[in-house]
Amino acid sequence: MVTVVAAVALADCRAIARRDGLDAGWQALVTATGAGELLFGPGGHGLCPPGWQPQRGGTDSRPAGWVLGLTWLRLGVSQWLLDQARTYLAGRTSGGVPLIQQQLVQGSLAEAVTEQQGVVAVLDALESAGDELSPSLAAHLHRQITDTDRMSLRLLGAGGFLSDGPGGIAHLSELLADAHLDGVDHDDHRSG
Amino acid sequence: MTITDQDDRLRVLRERAREWAEQLRPHAFELERDPDTVYRHLDLPAVDYVGKMLIPPRMQPNPMRIGDYEYYGTTAVERVVAAEEIASGDAGMFLASPGASLSGVLVGMLGDEAQQQWYFGRVRERPTWTFFALTEPARGSDAMALSTTLRKASDGSLTLHGEKRYVGNATRAQLGTVFARTGPGPLGVVAVLVETDAPGYQAEPLDTIGLRGAQISAIRFDGVPVDPGRVLGAHLPASARGMWSALRTFNLLRPGVAAIALGIARAAIEYARSNGERGRHREELDRLGHRVHTTRQLILRAAHEVDRDPRNGYLASAAKAQAAQLAEEATLQSLRMLGPGARFEHPWLDKLARDARGVEFMEGTRNVQRLNVCHALTKGRFDDD
Ligand SMILES: Cc1cc2nc3c(=O)[nH]c(=O)nc-3n(C[C@H](O)[C@H](O)[C@H](O)COP(=O)(O)OP(=O)(O)OC[C@H]3O[C@@H](n4cnc5c(N)ncnc54)[C@H](O)[C@@H]3O)c2cc1C
């Protein structure tokens, strides 16, 4: 019997992660790139699925498009987080007014979505030009995603500091970037 | 006391607290995994000092003594110096420590003599954990609208009903203070003293991403009986009891929370400095160092201000917002400086980055602090500086 696996484009990782969360996005990334279950980054670190048997080993040869796909994935997770924050803020009030109507909150939401759209714009342009994502640009985009996620976490209140739910997912997303990027985006480079 | 004596007193405390902080680090990960390990560390001087803090001198025959000086932790200035240093060792252990904490300030402000003797007597007698329950599942920043109620039966007996959430130490505490409603509006809020072995009290720890020593908890009050003598501030006018007292408590302790954030930021920067490649990122580290310095000065100024007049918490709001931001940014930046895989190679920095996320919410979020600061600005509070 032949199983037909729908082809997953790297960019689809974003929509899948946004809709179904990090786990689903990760599966999509693995499918899209043909990566093994456990892939090590440049420092020899990787995140393993729950119940992973260490003796099964892993690989450190990154398939083509891995970092680009990871960027789409983390962007989708970032959008998922912001969606969680929007839902939370719509359902919570201060002085009888929903938090989502507080202008300071609206400013943060606008800032967060602007940062995300910046990443979308860069990745889209890159893909249509068929260009590579350079390590330095990748590091910059991931930093932008992390900073955006921190905005969403602040908007989620102390609930976003719990290990379960958005707070834990955001940490996992930060760990993924740390394990898989070459890490060259420092202030040194920006100012130098 | 002259300014010089005061400066020397604080210098001595800072130096000593820095040594205490060193002794916390080896236990920090263990405390994260199992917050109950704090019980094994009650003899550490930092934990001992925190346990003695905030007990009024007239009730504290045995304060922390260093050289010729005695330390009671009853001024904000003393607390910020100690808090920065201890938190640079481990903010989790600072928050896990027994002591009078927030409730102590509240009891000092609202309690009558008998209530103070009872509360501080308990805290002084043996290591005692306390909690301060204001936040509710549906009410955080808007605590004014809290819905936990203190019901009065026809025979005059009182019972507590409702839920609180994210309350530090509420699972391990022996006693604490709870804000509850007796009627509508801000004047319909009172604070009561509660013992955790009372029937109907139930607390459960919440699993957090950082500051796990604090063991923030969810509490349920299922008709917890409250002795009328445990209602705080019955001898004061209603306007001085309820939310007003919570706000003033926050004013007094907010510089200390800012200092905890600063301690976390500084620890990250010091770690990056000594573990990064020599000479690399010097400019970036220097810039962060300057931010630590300016934030510290702002915190000290804010602490002096609330010591002078506890109503003046606006500078403390400015300092807390700035320090929480610095803690997040400095921890993330330090991780980046150490290159790919830093979260895994340097778990200490990963811990600091996780802890930094939590200080944002303690005693009010950045937005809430900003609103306080802007309110003060429009009232002309900054016109003379
Ligand atoms: C480590 C830790 C320890 C804690 N310890 C205690 C404790 O001991 N006792 C206790 O009672 N509580 C404690 N808390 C809870 C803390 O006080 C609350 O988390 C805090 O007040 C924020 O409330 P919230 O989490 O419900 O966020 P929310 O109030 O739901 O805020 C969500 C978002 O909306 C923003 N926002 C809210 N209102 C406004 C507004 N009017 N204008 C603009 N923006 C707004 C906030 O800034 C935030 O970004 C603790 C929390 C933590 C993380």
What's the pLDDT at A8? 84
Measured distance CA(B228)–CA(B219) in Å, rounded = 21
Tell me if B135 CB under 6 Å of ligand 1. Answer: yes
pLDDT band for position B244 (cuts 50, 70, 90): confident
**Class of CATH domain B243-378:** mainly alpha
User: Which positions ≥6 away from B362 have C-beta within 8 Å?
Assistant: B257, B260
What's the pLDDT at B165? 98
Domain residue extents for chain A: 4-190
Is it the case that residue A186 has pLDDT exceeding 60? Answer: no
What's the pLDDT at B246? 82
What's the pLDDT at A46? 84
What's the pLDDT at B3? 58
Residue A110 C-alpha, separation from nearest chain B C-alpha, in angstroms: 15
Residue A146 C-alpha, separation from nearest chain B C-alpha, in angstroms: 9
pLDDT band for position B21 (cuts 50, 70, 90): very high
Residues of chain B with CATH 2.40.110.10: 128-240
Helix residue ranges, H only, A21-102: 22-33, 66-90
Cβ–Cβ under 8 Å, residues B294 and B329: no
Read off the DSSP letter of residue B57. Answer: G
Residue A9 C-alpha, separation from nearest chain B C-alpha, in angstroms: 26
Q: What is the 3-state secondary structure (H, E, C) of B152-190?
A: ECCCCCEEEEEEEEEECCCCCCCEEEEEEECCCCHHHEE
CATH of domain A4-190: 1.20.140.10
| Cross-chain residue pair A179–B343, CB shorter than 8 Å | yes
Average pLDDT over residues B220-239: 93
Residues of chain B with CATH 1.10.540: 8-108
CA distances from B149 to B146, B189, B190, B199, B347 (A): 9, 9, 9, 16, 43
| Cross-chain residue pair B209–A168, CB shorter than 8 Å | yes
- Comparing CB atoms, the residue among A45, A154, A157 nearest residue B341 is A45
**Beta B189-195 vs B175-181: how paired, if at all?**
antiparallel
Average pLDDT over residues B215-238: 95
Q: Which fold has domain B8-108?
A: Butyryl-Coa Dehydrogenase, subunit A; domain 1 (1.10.540)
**Percent with pLDDT over 90 in chain B:** 91
For ligand 1, atom 23, name the residue with the nearest CA.
B140
User: How many interface pairs between A and B have CB atoms less than 8 angstroms apart?
Assistant: 107
Identify from B362, B367, B369, B370 which residue to disrupt to test chain A contact, counting A C-beta atoms within 10 A and taking the largest count. Answer: B367
> Is residue A110 classed as helix, strand or coil in its secondary structure?
helix
Read off the DSSP letter of residue A59. Answer: B
Cα(B246) to centroid of ligand 1, in Å?
Answer: 14
Is it the case that residue A3 has pLDDT exceeding 80? Answer: no
Q: Which fold has domain B128-240?
A: Butyryl-CoA Dehydrogenase, subunit A; domain 2 (2.40.110)
pLDDT band for position B337 (cuts 50, 70, 90): very high
What's the pLDDT at B239? 81
Using the CB atoms, write b or e for A135-157: b if 16+ within 10 Å: bebbbbbbbbbbbbbbbbbbbbb
Is it the case that residue B384 has pLDDT exceeding 90? Answer: no
What's the pLDDT at B186? 84
User: Which positions ≥6 away from B72 have C-beta within 8 Å?
Assistant: B52, B53, B54, B55, B56, B57, B60, B63, B64, B78
| Cross-chain residue pair A150–B328, CB shorter than 8 Å | yes
Write the pLDDT tens digit of every residue in B111-168.
999 999 999 999 999 999 999 999 999 999 999 899 999 999 999 999 999 999 999 9
Is it the case that residue B2 has pLDDT exceeding 60? Answer: no
For chain A, the distance separating the N- and C-terminal CA atoms, rounded to the nearest angstrom, is 58
Of A34-48, B80-94, B199-213, B226-240, the least confident: A34-48
- Closest residue in B to A178 (Cα–Cα): B341
Is it the case that residue A139 has pLDDT exceeding 60? Answer: yes
CA distances from B349 to A88, A145, B220, B328, B357 (A): 30, 20, 35, 12, 13
Give the atom of ligand 1 at the shortest distance from the alpha carbon of B131.
8
Cβ–Cβ under 8 Å, residues B73 and B56: no
pLDDT band for position B277 (cuts 50, 70, 90): confident
Tell me if B257 CB under 6 Å of ligand 1. Answer: no
- Show residues of chain A in contact with B141, CB under 8 Å: 94, 157
| Cross-chain residue pair B335–A178, CB shorter than 8 Å | yes
What's the pLDDT at A189? 42
Tell me if B178 CB under 6 Å of ligand 1. Answer: no
Read off the DSSP letter of residue A3. Answer: P
For a pocket test of ligand 1, which of B317, B365, B366, B367 has the largest count of ligand atoms closer than 8 A to its C-beta?
B365
**Tokens linked to B283:** 């400019």
Measured distance CA(A58)–CA(A38) in Å, rounded = 5
Assess B366–A contact: CB distance below 8 Å, yes or no.
yes
Write the pLDDT tens digit of every residue in A14-54.
999 999 999 999 999 999 998 877 788 888 888 876 666 66
Q: What is the mean pLDDT of chain B?
A: 95
Identify from B167, B334, B344, B352 which residue to disrupt to test chain A contact, counting A C-beta atoms within 10 A and taking the largest count. Answer: B344
For ligand 1, atom 1, name the residue with the nearest CA.
B358
Write the pLDDT tens digit of every residue in B43-80.
999 999 999 999 999 999 999 999 999 999 999 999 99
- Closest residue in A to B136 (Cα–Cα): A158
Q: What is the mean pLDDT of chain A?
A: 89
- Closest residue in A to B346 (Cα–Cα): A178
For a pocket test of ligand 1, which of B211, B245, B361 has the largest count of ligand atoms closer than 8 A to its C-beta?
B361
- Closest residue in B to A159 (Cα–Cα): B166
pTM of the model: 0.96
Tell me if B250 CB under 6 Å of ligand 1. Answer: no
Write the pLDDT tens digit of every residue in A56-103.
667 777 888 999 999 999 999 999 999 999 999 999 999 999 999 999
B335 closest CA partner among A179, A85, A38, A61? A179
What's the pLDDT at A143? 97
- Show residues of chain B in contact with A158, CB under 8 Å: 135, 140, 165-166, 216, 361
A9 closest CA partner among A30, A25, A32? A32
Q: What is the CA radius of gyration of chain A?
A: 18
Write the pLDDT tens digit of every residue in B192-208.
999 999 999 999 999 99
Q: Containing H/E element for B49?
A: helix B45-52
A63 versus B260: the higher-pLDDT residue is B260
CA distances from A151 to A154, B137, B285, B319 (A): 5, 21, 24, 19
| Cross-chain residue pair A157–B358, CB shorter than 8 Å | no
Tell me if B104 CB under 6 Å of ligand 1. Answer: no
Cα(B337) to centroid of ligand 1, in Å?
Answer: 31
**Tokens linked to B258:** 């800012």
